[in-house]
Amino acid sequence: MHFMTTKTRITNSFVRIVLILFLLPLLLTGEEIISPQAPLSIYLTWVADPSTTMVVQWISGAPEEAAFVHYRKDQPEAPLESAQAAHNPFPEEQPYYVHKASIMGLLPDTTYRFTIDGYSEEHLFLTMPKALDSPISFIIGGDTNLSNLHIFDETNQQAASQNPAFVVIGGDLACAASNNPKKKEDCNRWLEWLEHWYQQMKTKDGRIIPLLVTIGNHEVKGGYGQTPEQAPFFYHLFASPGERGYTTLRFGTYLSLYLLDSGHTHPTGGEQSQWLAQEMSKDSKMLNRIAVYHVPAYPDVRPYRNTYSSAIRRNFVPIFDTYRLHIAFENHDHAYKRTFPLTSDRTDPLGVVYIGNGSWGVKPRIPKKPSRTMYLDKTMSARQFCKITLSATEREVTAIKYDGSIIDQFSQPVDSVALQQRLQQERLNRKKWEDA
């Protein structure tokens, strides 16, 4: 499948050359030439307030030094505005360019239409709401891989059919990097991944679904303990999480997303853990606090005491406990899991739920049975992603297989409700003790 896709790209390049030769007389005579419909791939993301900004990125085979993104509200007679794009060549002397236009000053919860200079097709995007006046849903998964395009496409299509506001992929996207730190990445795998993502990750009304990512070991030459220079494609292709490799994205007062590096190009301790504590300390009034990263603190396939999971428990988990993270979405193990709510490795109704474990586009592995650990509540060998729905009173997580079937579901009340429930239970327990 990979060979056929590459062969198709070569054939398409030949066709383009023939078309250029055919259209050359029109160029010389000044006849109008119809522009192509779209670039190789278009993908959206955020680096700032998702209610008032959008970053439009696209891939092409030309520098397009003066290209603009033209956008307007999806309303009759809405004025057209423009944002100029920056252009960077692909790493490792590949003949492609990644373009990025940052659009600012947008209206919250508003649909916009946009076009890109040189291309005729019009696209849609939607900004996020400023406040959680009505429920919103988004999707988190990981380990999309690209070994089997069919199962990657199948899960993409199921995820898009859920009409999510955005998608977060927690590492191991195209899996284009080798464990050998001296070997170049496979550029064709990135191109195929971006092409298929662009083709499939749209809603029924044509809206492009924004993408947020974290780094995994297969984005990095050498896998672990490396620097950003060993992950050139990840850092060139994605505006977020940025050069630092980890970031916080805040959605009004209803959601903080902590996108973390689980030891691939930045250590989990030191600067990153200090930064995480500072960021979480700002968010005590945030309704929902969610982290996404690659290597699990609580594995369901690999050994509990493996080096990388132990580092996550040593460096991230105490901060999660101190500042009351609500859910941590983990990946890497290729099998579904959900832990009990945990604080300091012990079950606690107000603890952190660790969920996911990454099996979007890979053959799932066989996980441990919950009865064989102290922390696993549910496991399953399944290719899946999680749909998160936030409302003013609760957060609900639904694990969905590639075929649309639901394999798990749980909900948490927001802190104000949860704390009241705990106080009420404590009062009941105290009364029982006094009555006895």
Residue 27 lies in a domain: no
- Residues with Cβ within 8 Å of 18's Cβ and at least 6 positions away in sequence, in order, are none
Residue 148 pLDDT? 86
Residue 400 pLDDT? 98
For residue 182, give the DSSP letter.
T
Residue 423 pLDDT? 56
Residue 14 lies in a domain: no
One domain for residues 379 and 405: yes
Choosing from 90, 107, 130, the residue where a domain stops is 130
Residue 370 lies in a domain: yes
- Residue 90 dihedral angles phi and psi, to the nearest 5°: -60, 155
Residue type, 189: R
One domain for residues 115 and 225: no
pTM as predicted: 0.89
Choosing from 130, 161, 185, the residue where a domain stops is 130
Mean pLDDT by 10 residues, the chain (436 residues): 41 38 38 64 98 97 86 96 96 94 98 96 97 97 91 97 98 95 94 97 96 98 97 98 96 97 98 98 96 98 97 98 98 98 95 97 96 95 98 97 98 82 64 62
131 SS3 class: coil
One domain for residues 114 and 138: no
Cβ 350 vs Cβ 324: under 8 Å: yes
- CATH code, domain with 114: 2.60.40.380
Residue 175 lies in a domain: yes
One domain for residues 166 and 231: yes
Choosing from 100, 130, 160, the residue where a domain stops is 130
Residue 211 lies in a domain: yes
**Helix axes of 187-200 and 2-29: crossing angle, nearest 10 degrees:** 80
One domain for residues 182 and 95: no
Residue 147 pLDDT? 80
What is the domain extent for residue 55? 40-130
Strands 384-390 and 136-141: what pairing? antiparallel
One domain for residues 149 and 112: no
- Residues with Cβ within 8 Å of 133's Cβ and at least 6 positions away in sequence, in order, are 392
One domain for residues 293 and 264: yes
Cβ 179 vs Cβ 172: under 8 Å: no
Residue 103 pLDDT? 98
One domain for residues 178 and 103: no
Cβ 198 vs Cβ 192: under 8 Å: no
Q: Which two tokens stand for residue 362?
A: 């890979």
One domain for residues 107 and 138: no
Residue 173 lies in a domain: yes
189 SS3 class: helix
One domain for residues 154 and 80: no
Residue 426 pLDDT? 61
Closest CA to 65 of 119, 121, 117: 117
- CATH code, domain with 244: 3.60.21.10
Residue 16 lies in a domain: no
Q: Which two tokens stand for residue 28?
A: 């010389």
Residue 156 lies in a domain: yes
Give the CA count within 13 Å in the CB-facing half-sphere of 257: 28
One domain for residues 277 and 332: yes
One domain for residues 329 and 287: yes
User: How many domains is the chain partitioned into structurally?
Assistant: 2
